[in-house]
């Protein structure tokens, strides 16, 4: 009597695992890049919000000098916590704001630190350009 065996062979399972491994190796770096770009918007939004608060501070005090994060009503981290915010420089008429990556975002070497000044000029450190980093 000949019984028909139902199921998968070891070779079929190994081929399936190899295909899954190849697909994972191709898609994971793309996913990581997408997540870094997505988290960048957290720092951008925080810097733009801080710039608005700096302008309100200037309206009240006629100077940017002496402005602190707590003085303008800003937290030290971005809303989702991927960036640490700071007022890098603040003179009577100019300021430069900085968002430094923290946690999972530190692996973003393309756009490491984001900057914004009183003229609205956007910058970034890393291998990417400011226009690329502020898309």
N-term to C-term CA, the chain? 70
Q: Token digits for 127? A: 């291998």
Pairwise CA distance, residues 9 & 16, whole Å:
11
Confidence at residue 29, expressed as pLDDT on a 0 to 100 scale: 87
Confidence at residue 1, expressed as pLDDT on a 0 to 100 scale: 58
* pLDDT averaged over every residue in the chain: 93
Low-confidence residues of the chain: pLDDT under 50: none
Confidence at residue 112, expressed as pLDDT on a 0 to 100 scale: 93
Confidence at residue 25, expressed as pLDDT on a 0 to 100 scale: 92
Confidence at residue 107, expressed as pLDDT on a 0 to 100 scale: 93
The dihedral through the CA atoms of 48, 50, 51, 52 has a sign that is positive
């Amino acid at each position: 009597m000949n019984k028909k065996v139902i199921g998968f062979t070891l070779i079929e399972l190994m081929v399936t695992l190899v295909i899954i491994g190849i697909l994972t190796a191709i898609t994971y770096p793309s996913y990581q890049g997408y997540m870094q770009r997505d988290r960048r918007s957290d720092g951008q939004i925080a810097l733009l919000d801080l710039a608005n608060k700096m302008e309100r501070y200037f309206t009240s005090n006629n100077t940017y000098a002496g402005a602190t994060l707590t003085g303008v009503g800003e937290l030290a981290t971005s809303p989702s916590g991927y960036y640490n915010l700071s007022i890098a420089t603040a003179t009577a008429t100019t300021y430069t704001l900085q968002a430094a990556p923290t946690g999972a975002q530190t692996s973003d070497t393309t756009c490491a630190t984001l900057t914004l000044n009183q003229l609205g000029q956007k910058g970034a450190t890393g291998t990417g350009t400011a226009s690329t980093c502020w898309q």
